[in-house]
Amino acid sequence: MSVLVSGATGFIAQHIVEALLNENYKVIGTARSQEKGDNLKKQFNNNPNLIMEVVSDISNVNAFDHVLEKHAKDIKVVLHTASPFHFNTTEYEKDLLIPARNGTLGILEAIKKYASQTVERVVITSSFAAVYDVEAPPSKDLVYTEKNWNPATWETAQKNAVMAYCGSKKIAEKTAWDFLEKNKNVVKFQLSTVNPVFVFGPQLASSSVGDTLNTSCELINAVLKSKPSDVLATSIAGEFIDVRDVAKAHLAAFQRENTVGKRLVMSNGPFSSQTICNVIHKDFPQYDGKIAPVAKDTDVDNGNVSFVLDNSATKKLLGWEFISLQKSVDDTVAQIAQVKN
């Protein structure tokens, strides 16, 4: 049986591909170019269980048709991870909203056309951004669970880059649930989503470590680039989860019955830039005097949060202990240090 992983060269997706290959699944990955696909194959020592296909532009709603048509008989599971994650645009529709929505709709329409009776499970890599209301005033009484939805619309999502990214994740995920509701008599697949917060942890391959990292890990990298005179923010930047837990959750999302129809909100607690900095000083003395200093992280220590995330339902469902912030930061920093040296 084959698992289709869209956007297979992404930070989270590479960890998913590794987990799938370790469990002897055949993997069909998509990449935006032949070169990116070939590089990923090399990373996995040209494992014969990994086949790559090119999907150059997910904004095109027919982008996935050729992949599903070609592999329809083999694909039982589809993991849709491909979606833009960055804030460096002012063309919000073109760069964020349209690719996120059309990529999701396109892969589901392709399943309907070519594999309506063979694909059994679909997992969408969504985000806590689809749960979170960007414009809600900060409050300790504001509690988010797996049941909350970001209220953004196509129009309100175009106020700024953060709202556009968060809106794109909400719109894409809603597109998937609505598609299944509308087509439940035509397709046989069951749907789950994985909704991570900021995703930390090492790149799968050290060759992926550059001057800048993927959007979430760049928060750790930014601390490593700080100066001893810098005063870091102790205000809570958000919640974190380790990439290896996110990858594992994608497998649980299609392997288990108890995850059908569920949104798995992946988080293991809050962090600030100062929390990250304090972990680095504790475990990497070589950075003493080279980056921002250790300081009391009052907000994290005192729980001065702008919202509360209660993902106890997800934790109970999955049933394993998530990787700690310390280990996640340590493994990320160790890899960066090794590459720089």
> Active-site residue numbers?
169
Question: What would you report as the CA-atom Rg of the chain, rounded to the nearest whole angstrom?
Answer: 20
**What phi and psi, each to the nearest 5 degrees, are found at residue 121?**
-135, 140
- In angstroms, the Cα distances linking 214 to 133, 149, 155, 258 are 23, 25, 27, 31
One-letter amino acid at 224 equals L
**Local structure of 125: helix, strand or coil:** strand
Token pair recorded at residue 101 = 């929505």
- 185-188's contacts with Cβ under 8 Å and 24+ in sequence apart are 186/112, 186/116, 187/108, 187/111, 187/112, 187/116, 187/119, 188/116, 188/117, 188/119, 188/120
Q: How far apart are CA 194 and CA 267, in angstroms?
A: 11
Burial class (CB in 10 A: 0-12, 13-18, 19+), 86: exposed
Which pairing describes strands 238-242 and 190-196: parallel, antiparallel, or unpaired? unpaired
